[in-house]
């Protein structure tokens, strides 16, 4: 099984989320007990809604449990000038000359709307280990892309 890469912050966030879901499990169980008292289960909307919530909650618990049982903690890179997880990278798209700063993060922390790009994405994977001044090509879902690394922080 492939290990999920996590930073210390992501690990803490996932553990907190897992603990909250475990607490929610007990709340949902109480809702089911209460809804059973409303009568015929075949026509009991509250009961069906609670069972649906229970199913969703248990699925999320299993997903998080799997990650928390098989993760690899990301260590800070010793090469400060090479792109690694948690690097802020200023890049220039060579076709449009557009300049953008992105942060390379683990897939758990990725959020493209906040310019947090997964190390497993095409651009993240292509940038890993590269230094300022390097020109990188990668295949995006929209076709080939060429970029230049301007800065690595």
Residue 139, H or E segment:
strand 135-140
Look at residue 100 and tell me whether its pLDDT is greater than 70. yes
Any idea which fold 4-73 has?
Helix Hairpins (1.10.287)
Sorted by where each begins, the domain ranges of the chain are: 4-73, 88-152
Predicted TM-score of the model (pTM): 0.74
How confident is the model at residue 40, as a pLDDT? Answer: 73
Look at residue 1 and tell me whether its pLDDT is greater than 70. no
Distance, CA of 48 to CA of 38 (rounded, Å): 12
- What architecture is domain 88-152? Roll (3.10)
Q: What is the tens place of the pLDDT at every residue in 122-153?
A: 999 999 999 999 999 999 999 999 999 999 99
Q: What is the tens place of the pLDDT at every residue in 34-93?
A: 888 877 777 778 888 999 999 999 999 999 999 999 999 987 666 778 999 999 999 999
Beta-carbon contacts of 61 under 8 Å, excluding residues fewer than 6 positions away, are 18, 21, 22, 25
């Amino acid at each position: 099984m492939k290990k999920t890469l996590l930073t210390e912050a992501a690990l803490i966030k996932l553990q907190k989320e897992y603990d909250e879901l475990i607490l929610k499990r007990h709340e949902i169980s109480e809702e089911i007990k209460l809804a059973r008292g409303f009568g015929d289960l075949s026509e009991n909307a509250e009961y069906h809604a609670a069972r649906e919530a229970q199913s969703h909650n248990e699925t999320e618990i299993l997903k998080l449990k799997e990650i928390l049982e098989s993760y690899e903690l990301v260590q800070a890179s010793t090469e400060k000038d090479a792109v690694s997880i948690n690097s802020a990278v200023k890049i220039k798209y060579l076709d449009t000359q557009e300049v953008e700063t992105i942060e390379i993060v683990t897939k758990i922390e990725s959020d493209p709307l906040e310019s947090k790009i997964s190390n497993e994405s095409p651009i993240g994977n292509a940038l890993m280990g590269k230094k300022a001044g390097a020109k990188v090509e990668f295949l995006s879902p929209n076709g080939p892309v060429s970029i230049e690394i301007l800065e690595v922080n």
